[in-house]
Amino acid sequence: MNDATRTMRRRTYLMCRPLHFDVTYSINPWMDPGRPTSPDVGLTQWKWLHDQLVDLGHRVVLIEPEPGLPDMVFAANGAITVDGRALVARFRHDCRTGESRAYLEWFRRNGWAEVAQARHVNEGEGDFLLVGDQFLAGSGFRTEPRAHEEVATFFGRDVVGLTLIDPRFYHLDTALAVLDDDEVMYYPPAFSPESRERLAADFPDAVLVGEAEAEAFGVNAVSDGVHVLLPEHGGRLAGQLAERGYVPIGVDMSELLKAGGAVKCCANELRGGPDD
């Protein structure tokens, strides 16, 4: 397929400015509290991503960052939304639980038809990615497997469970990205053998990502069906995407990567909200 046959779909994203960004604890292998961080650099990189999404024609809405919640910039973890319904995250680690309250308040204040907090540990779009009409759902490090059934019931959608086995790729969105309604890219060694078999069966034409690109968080990307925004040090992945007819756009996420997050972590796709 070439780019002439691909179709861009304008989307709405929820983002959070990294005004309080810092690495003060370690809950994934990328975080080192002893390593200096710069909120100013993080904000500059985040703003470039924000402005690029707007320039491409997407709508970006903001949730206000709160002091003491340095990971709130990673808005993808905050909730899952489909058809105007929002299921807000229940975080595994205590240091992030305050984010759930902030997201519950935001969705209720902004007129979403149905808002609830997950009963089971569920880290939002970090572990639930919508592909066509079904969810791919990760577990192994953060989200609990029993949250998969809860999501299926809440949204009335099929959920395909996938098990992550490499702690470097602790959320599904660090190991797999949705490129279009029927196409994904992923790093196979991040998944259990059973999950790799399922992915190979369901997506035989997927873009398979190498270790160097995965370690650079190249899979933590946002696609609108044509443009794919990904960390700029994604190596040969940009070429793989271009061969498929996509337009890769590199984004400098080096500061936010110190907390184990990149492009997709910063952008939560809102589906069917009151203003869509």
Structural domain range at position 212: 3-270
**Is 260 among the domain residues?**
yes
Exactly one of 50, 171, 227, 233 is catalytic; name it: 171
Total structural domains in the chain?
1
Distance between first and last Cα of the chain: 29
**Is 276 among the domain residues?**
no
20 as an active site residue: the answer is no
95 as an active site residue: the answer is no
**Is 94 among the domain residues?**
yes
pLDDT tens for the chain, 276 residues: list them: 444 589 999 999 999 999 999 999 999 999 999 999 999 999 999 999 999 999 999 999 999 999 999 999 999 999 999 999 999 999 999 999 999 999 999 999 999 989 999 999 999 999 999 999 999 999 999 999 999 999 999 999 999 999 999 999 999 999 999 999 999 999 999 999 999 999 999 999 999 999 999 999 999 999 999 999 999 876 799 999 999 999 999 999 999 999 999 999 999 999 998 877
d(CA 85, CA 230): 28
**Is 190 among the domain residues?**
yes
Q: pTM of the full predicted structure?
A: 0.96
Exactly one of 50, 58, 265, 266 is catalytic; name it: 265
CATH of the domain at 208: 3.75.10.10
**Contact by Cβ (8 Å): 117, 88:** yes
Q: What is the DSSP string of 152-169?
A: HHHHT--EEEEEB--TTS
d(CA 261, CA 3): 28
**Contact by Cβ (8 Å): 210, 229:** no
**Is 275 among the domain residues?**
no
